[in-house]
A and B are shown apart, each in its own frame.
Chain A
Amino acid sequence: GAGVSQSPSNKVTEKGKDVELRCDPISGHTALYWYRQSLGQGLEFLIYFQGNSAPDKSGLPSDRFSAERTGGSVSTLTIQRTQQEDSAVYLCASSLATSLRNTQYFGPGTRLTVL
């Protein structure tokens, strides 16, 4: 079956511009997660959704970052007024539910480059 998809695969933008990153989770997965990975680093948790609500936004680095999820499916991560330090690969994952044992399935990521 179809896995997690993300678009665009690559995004180059200029400092100060806004960007939107999209994630399509696996059908039927109620939990959705956003992570980012800077060059040579491990993954950093940003936010997770259970259905359309986001109980844990603790990882968002600043108020320039926001995310929403509609219809319990597609999610959009928005970065306003991008900065060079926002350059990273943004990864989305989904799972059947939020529990300690549920496997997360990751998308291929969106590589964001801020010039």
Chain B
Amino acid sequence: DAKTTQPNSMESNEEEPVHLPCNHSTISGTDYIHWYRQLPSQGPEYVIHGLTSNVNNRMASLAIAEDRKSSTLILHRATLRDAAVYYCILSGANSKLTFGKGITLSVRP
């Protein structure tokens, strides 16, 4: 499965935008880019996914580079409830998700 690289952690202030980067230089043409997040003591939660075009939903936006070798998850206004581990994942065979360590987002009030 193609690998993703994320920073270990990021801090943000409440009500400010947050940009979470992800590198995936070995992405294949059919891989979707998925983002999940995991709040403390909970199972992962789907955030957003995309293939080539930028995507928006009620939770976040996903900006995908033209060469698809990187992407950025954008939280438009961070809240304290957004503090979580965010995983950037490329879909593999049989849609098995290979989770890395993710990026830990802290939100300051």
Q: In the complex, what residues of B have CB within 8 A of residue A18's CB?
A: none
Q: Does B56 interact with chain A (Cβ within 8 Å)?
A: no
In the complex, are the beta carbons of B44 and A91 less than 8 A apart? yes
Q: In the complex, what residues of A have CB within 8 A of residue B76's CB?
A: none
Please judge, given known A-B contacts A103-B46, A109-B43, whether A42 and B100 are in contact too, CB under 8 Å.
yes
**Which of B30, B51, B98 has the largest count of A CB atoms less than 10 A from its CB?**
B98
Complex: chain A residue closest to B102, CB-CB: A42
Please judge, given known A-B contacts A95-B95, A100-B31, A100-B95, whether A42 and B46 are in contact too, CB under 8 Å.
no
Q: Does A107 interact with chain B (Cβ within 8 Å)?
A: yes
Complex: chain A residue closest to B98, CB-CB: A45
In the complex, are the beta carbons of A45 and B43 less than 8 A apart? no
Q: In the complex, what residues of B have CB within 8 A of residue A55's CB?
A: 94
Q: Does A72 interact with chain B (Cβ within 8 Å)?
A: no
Q: Does A56 interact with chain B (Cβ within 8 Å)?
A: yes
Q: In the complex, what residues of B have CB within 8 A of residue A100's CB?
A: 30-32, 91, 95
Complex: chain A residue closest to B90, CB-CB: A100
Q: In the complex, what residues of B have CB within 8 A of residue A98's CB?
A: 94-95
Q: In the complex, what residues of B have CB within 8 A of residue A108's CB?
A: 42-43
Q: Does A102 interact with chain B (Cβ within 8 Å)?
A: yes
Interface residues of A, Cβ cutoff 8 Å to B:
4, 31, 33, 35, 41-45, 48, 50, 55-56, 91, 93, 95, 98-109
